[in-house]
Homo-oligomer: A and B are copies of this chain.
Amino acid sequence: MRRRIHVGVLVLAIAGAVAAEPPKTMGELLAVSAPDDWRTPDPADTLYLELATGRVIIELAPRYAPRHIANIRTLAREGHYDGLAITRVQDNFVVQWGDPDKPVGTAARTLPAEFTQPVDPSAPFSPLASVDGYAPQVGFADGMPAARDAMGRIGWLAHCYGTLGVGRDNDADSGNGAELYVVIGHAPRQLDRNVTVAGRVLHGIELLAALPRGTGPMGFHEPPAAATRIERVRLAADTPAAERTQIEVLRTDTPLFAQLVELRRNRADEWYKVPAGYIDLCSVPLPVRVSAPSLSGPD
């Protein structure tokens, strides 16, 4: 069996073997990672989107969209999204869900836009040493692809594959988190600073990305009956411990992560003949490792 083009994007299972030579691939590097190279997302910032086909795990970004995240938490706790539909699946762009006409309970009906945020000097930011056409600086903040203005005083999260954004009307302040979308195509960076970014999918995005495309304009399902039902959306924090998924994400503020970026900027395994010498923000892998839900996990 010949080898084929091969690039692992998420490494979910890591070979145990520790190489004696310096790691040449992501897999080899992750095999020598330490427990401290990984982080466990806060259950209060972890959203489970439950479909009939499985669980999509989303990490929320409260530092970048505090009001919207508070609203999304309320909507999830009050069962707002349960039974709603994924109404839109537009190829190479987004999936989107929600019902703008459904009452939002105790959540806010509209919120001021949180397209960008003043940067707290104490907030960690791991710069990526890559020129980026869409922003003066790019890198990783709170484990997510992020950007900053030239002075480093204003920050925002970037639209990459898996980014979770807040749908809105033409009015910048018309979003509230009741309608959400996830990027399932080439990074639509033109949306940066035009939408409140609420987080990113950590696991299970293929359950969204492989959905049948909507046949109406902009990928909306016509008839709407073709839309996929959302069984339930809950915070991990509101989910019984036994039903939580144990998940860890590679930290982006470590020497190991910096080494990973360089390994991906210039691939050294024998399949590659010409190293790129460059990596764009949305091509940097953010590995995740997952265990099955524990039956008696710690709270």
Contacts and interface: CB of A to CB of B under 8 A. Distances in A.
Contacts of A174: 2
A124 B3 CA distance: 35
Interface in A138-187: 160-162, 165, 167-170, 172, 174, 179, 181, 185-187
Interface string A273-290: 110101110110000000
A55 to B, nearest CB: 15
A34 interface: no
B93 A172 contact: no
A4 B96 contact: yes
Contact of A9 (B92, B167, B283): B92
Interface string A210-254: 111100011000000000000000000000000000000000000
A279 B168 CA distance: 23
B160 A186 contact: yes
B96 A195 contact: no
B218 A6 contact: yes
A134 to B, nearest CB: 5
A149 B1 CA distance: 35
Nearest to A209: B91
Interface residues of A, number: 69
B283 A4 contact: no
Given A134-B278, A160-B186, A283-B186, A170 B5 contact: no
A267 B191 CA distance: 10
A90 B170 CA distance: 35
Interface of A: 1-9, 88-94, 96, 100, 115, 130-134, 160-162, 165, 167-170, 172, 174, 179, 181, 185-195, 205-206, 209-213, 217-218, 264, 267, 270-274, 276, 278-280, 282-283
